């Protein structure tokens, strides 16, 4: 049996909030079903989908997860970790945490009950890497547009990060996080000029924005 997991991140570039890593796994044969029934045979970058469409797909994933047909998880790594260790470290940490959450092992049992060889395959978007003990891994540039498992991971990461940023918007109402999710939009810059940095802003991403510091 071949079990494939896709890995992608959301929130690498924003000025505020965490970076969120999503992982999505299923038997390889499930890939064709997902491509046809979830994506209508056309993969798209999750950021190009409307928020409503991403939520619709995510709800389908939740139902499939309850039926034990798929598994997925998201790990949020804080802006403090990003500031202390860097975005690359934070993303790698998110990948490690996700792999532990869904209880995947680098070397699954060599034979299934049917006598078939088990194989764990990891596919990652962009320049992401899994821990080195996972030998069978492949990085795919623009993977969320080329591989269904990465596309699914991209959606769960984006949906759950967006939900988190909307909750943070209630705690930090001065920054309209529910609108831009922490990205460097004109509105966000305008609000930073007015209010300065909050404790959820990435100071290391705002080093040149001296006018925004309190």
Give dist(CA 189, CA 8) in Å, integer.
27
CA atoms within 13 A on the CB side of 108: 17
Q: Is the pTM of this model over 0.85?
A: yes
Percentage of residues of the chain with pLDDT beyond 90: 83
Query: How large is the average pLDDT for residues 185-200?
Result: 94
CA atoms within 13 A on the CB side of 102: 26
At 16, give phi and psi (nearest 5°).
Answer: -140, 155
Residue-level pLDDT at 59: 97
CB atoms within 10 A of CB 54: 18
Model pLDDT for residues 76-98, shown as the tens digit of each residue = 999 999 999 999 999 999 999 99
Domains, the chain: 2-169 (3.30.420.10)
Give dist(CA 99, CA 128) in Å, integer.
14
> Is pLDDT at 107 greater than 60 in this prediction?
no
Residue 42: CB partners within 8 Å, gap ≥ 6?
Answer: none
């Amino acid at each position: 049996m071949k079990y494939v997991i896709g890995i992608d991140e959301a929130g690498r570039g924003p000025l505020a909030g965490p970076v969120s890593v999503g992982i999505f796994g299923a038997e390889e044969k499930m890939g064709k079903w997902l491509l046809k029934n979830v994506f209508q045979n056309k993969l798209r970058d999750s950021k190009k989908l409307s928020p409503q469409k991403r939520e619709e797909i995510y709800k389908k994933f939740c139902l499939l997860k309850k039926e034990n047909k798929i598994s997925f998880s998201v790990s949020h790594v804080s802006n403090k970790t990003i500031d202390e260790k860097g975005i690359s470290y934070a993303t790698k940490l998110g990948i490690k945490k996700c792999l532990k959450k869904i209880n995947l092992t680098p070397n699954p049992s060599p034979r299934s009950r049917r006598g078939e060889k088990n194989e764990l395959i990891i596919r990652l978007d962009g320049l992401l890497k899994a821990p080195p003990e996972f030998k069978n891994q492949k990085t795919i540039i623009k993977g969320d547009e080329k591989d269904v498992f990465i596309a699914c991971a991209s959606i769960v990461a984006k949906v759950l990060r967006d939900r988190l940023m909307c909750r943070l918007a209630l705690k930090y109402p001065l920054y309209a996080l529910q609108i831009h999710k922490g990205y460097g939009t004109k509105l966000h810059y305008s609000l930073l000029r007015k209010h300065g940095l909050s404790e959820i802003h990435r100071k290391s991403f705002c080093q040149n924005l001296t006018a925004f510091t309190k």
